[in-house]
Amino acid sequence: MSSKLRNFFIDNAVVILFVVLIAIAIPVSGLPGTFLMQEILTRLGRNTFLVIALLLPIMAGMGLNFGMVLGAMAGQLGLIFITDWNIVGIPGLLLAMIISLPISVFLGWLCGSIMNLAKGREMVTGFILAFFMNGLYMMVVLYAMGSIIPIMNPELLLSRGYGIRNVVGLDGVRQSLDTLIPLKIAGLNIPAFSFLIIAAVSYFIIWFRKTKIGQDMRAAGQDRAVSGAAGIPVEQTRILAIIISTVLAGIGQIIFLQNLGTINTTSSHEQIGMFSIAALLIGGASVTKASIPNVIVGVILFHLLFLVSPMAGKNLIGSGMLGEYFRQFVSYGVIALALVLYEWKRVTQENDSRATLRGGGAPAAKEAKGGAA
Amino acid sequence: MTSRSLFQRSCVLLGFIALSVYLFYIGKGHMLLIDTNAVTINGKELRSPETIEVSIDGKPAESMGRAERILVLVGGPKHSITIEVLSGEDKTVEKQFTIPTFMDSAVVSVPAILGDAPPESWITTFTAPPVEEAPAEQMQHEQDTPEAAAQASPDATGAGQPKP
């Protein structure tokens, strides 16, 4: 029994830690419940799609896809183009998604191909690749747009005549998705259409897992060598997982930015990977296992802590900046904690299996035997 | 790649291109200036009533007087305008109109709509008036030259000059 309890705490250490932190921070912050509920509903609609984009690479054994930033860049390029062409409303968002699609597919293919050359180190490869592609993105946005790529709207351009301004207003598409089905329950505005899209993509992920390609991905994630021997095209399957993830990240970034109503051209995409991964890990996911409930729980807990931490910091220490520092600390800290826990569990499992082979039996097995006796 | 899969992929690509063109057409944003200034069409002067309420695409109506303009942002080519005349003869007119895709800014003439003018005269392209040269800016440019600066403030010119 104690072993089960221990395993439960180890498996859910991050979730428990955050529930405790939030339980302390909410009363200290003094924020009203209706405000928190409204903010959480808005942020669920805004961020969940991006976090869902991380699920398939985890299933394919490629860990947390830090390369999703590439998809976010593609989404932003789509939004810049529709703002230049002045395409408004839902058609504008759909057109931005279609524009981002080929860019996301290409970047996803590139990312997946490079990750295949660095098997076992996909996460750090994706992380560095995102930095590299950020440089290319900056070159396109700050140099090519207006000089090589025609931009017709002079309000988008920097005063030197080329390059996109740092902040681009998305007035034409602002909250088009969120307000498409106006729904108000108990004084709370529900972004119903965004939730429907999230439900649809969640259903797609569940359905995809059951398909032949989905099963291949799971097999490749569990053991590459055995899958390859069984005739599964492991490398192609891994590339496909990253392409789908990048495409979903591009669409997710468009949904995210239409809710905010502005693009910070040079930095909106940078934090997306980190925050989405942190939210997923807080929801109880690991490097090898993640599900839709992990996404929902993670987004709620992560953003609840984001909301209450500035006020809690202000009330406790008298400085709201503490909460801002805490956000960064939480994002990076939870990723580090999840990686450490994952590695520790892996080493413990290896030691246990070695001990079992030597005939000593794993500590957990011994306890089970003792309990039975 | 087999010819069948090549055909399928080409169809998907063409489908996406067709969808993009359609989305561009139905989503193109326009700036409409609802105008109540008098217009002359076919030698006949048409004037707007004293007070009206105008609504575009069922949005909340705005009150307008004579010789006024209000700005409305819309998306797509087809729109409806509802004009309720509040002064004189009380009547409500509802008409449909289409804006060309590449007309970014358009002037919608209320007197033309109320005066039963032909639909092609309801909408005209808005051209912004030319920006006048700012005299202050010209003076600033003149002062930037060393001669002009010396003329403008002879005392100041000596201060920055290296002494022999």
**Beta-strand (E) ranges in chain A?**
167-169, 182-185, 188-191, 262-264
Residue A90: pLDDT above 70? yes
DSSP-derived 3-state class of residue A227 = helix
Per the CB < 8 Å rule, is B27 touching A98? no
Identify the pLDDT of residue B135.
Answer: 59
Identify the pLDDT of residue A227.
Answer: 93
Per the CB < 8 Å rule, is B27 touching A91? yes
Residue A341: pLDDT above 50? yes
- The answer to whether the Cα torsion of A26, A27, A32, A37 is positive or negative is positive
Residues in chain B with CB shorter than 8 Å from the CB of A86 are 28-29, 104
State the Cα–Cα distance between residues B20 and B14, nearest whole angstrom: 10
Quick: pLDDT tens for A24-64. Answer: 889 988 899 999 999 999 999 999 999 999 999 999 999 99
Confidence of residue A4 (pLDDT cuts 50, 70, 90): confident
Q: Name the token pair of A75.
A: 């989404």
DSSP-derived 3-state class of residue B72 = strand
- Could you say which of A88, A94, A99 has the minimum Cβ distance to residue B75? A88
Q: Residue A208, Cβ neighbours under 10 Å: how many?
A: 16
Q: Name the token pair of A73.
A: 């860049």
Q: Give the mean pLDDT of chain B.
A: 81
Quick: pLDDT tens for B41-96. Answer: 888 888 888 889 999 998 899 999 888 999 999 999 999 999 999 887 778 899 99
* Percent of the residues in chain A that have a pLDDT greater than 70, as a whole number: 95
Task: Kindly report the pTM of this predicted structure.
Answer: 0.85
Confidence of residue B159 (pLDDT cuts 50, 70, 90): very low
Domain ranges (residues) in chain B: 27-151
Strands A262-264 and A167-169: antiparallel
Quick: pLDDT tens for A290-301. Answer: 999 999 999 999
Sheet (strand B91-98) strand order: B62-64, B52-56, B78-85, B91-98
State the Cα–Cα distance between residues A340 and B162, nearest whole angstrom: 68
Whether A180 contacts chain B with CB within 8 A = no
Identify the pLDDT of residue B137.
Answer: 52
Identify the pLDDT of residue A39.
Answer: 94
Quick: pLDDT tens for A164-209. Answer: 999 999 999 999 999 999 899 988 999 999 999 999 999 999 999 9
Residues in chain B with CB shorter than 8 Å from the CB of A82 are 27
- Please state the rounded mean pLDDT for residues A126-144: 94
- Mutation target for B interface from A81, A82, A88, A180: give the one with most B CBs within 10 A: A88
Per the CB < 8 Å rule, is B29 touching A90? no
Q: Give the mean pLDDT of chain A.
A: 89
DSSP-derived 3-state class of residue A63 = coil
Confidence of residue A211 (pLDDT cuts 50, 70, 90): very high
Q: What is the end-to-end Cα distance of chain B in Å, rounded?
A: 83
Residue A223: which residues within 8 A CB-CB, separation 6 or more? none
In the DSSP assignment, the letter for residue A140 is I
Quick: pLDDT tens for B85-141. Answer: 988 777 889 999 999 999 989 999 999 998 888 888 899 998 877 776 655 555 555
* Percent of the residues in chain A that have a pLDDT greater than 90, as a whole number: 64
Domain ranges (residues) in chain A: 1-30+294-373, 42-282
Identify the pLDDT of residue A1.
Answer: 57
Identify the pLDDT of residue B156.
Answer: 40
Residue A340: pLDDT above 70? yes
Per the CB < 8 Å rule, is A90 touching B20? no
Q: Are B31 and B104 in contact (CB under 8 A)?
A: yes
Residue B162: pLDDT above 70? no
Residue A107: pLDDT above 50? yes
Identify the pLDDT of residue B138.
Answer: 53
Per the CB < 8 Å rule, is A98 touching B20? yes
Q: CB-based burial of residue A326 (10 Å sphere; 0-12 exposed, 13-18 middle, 19+ buried)?
A: buried
Residue A163: which residues within 8 A CB-CB, separation 6 or more? A141, A142, A143, A145, A146, A147, A157
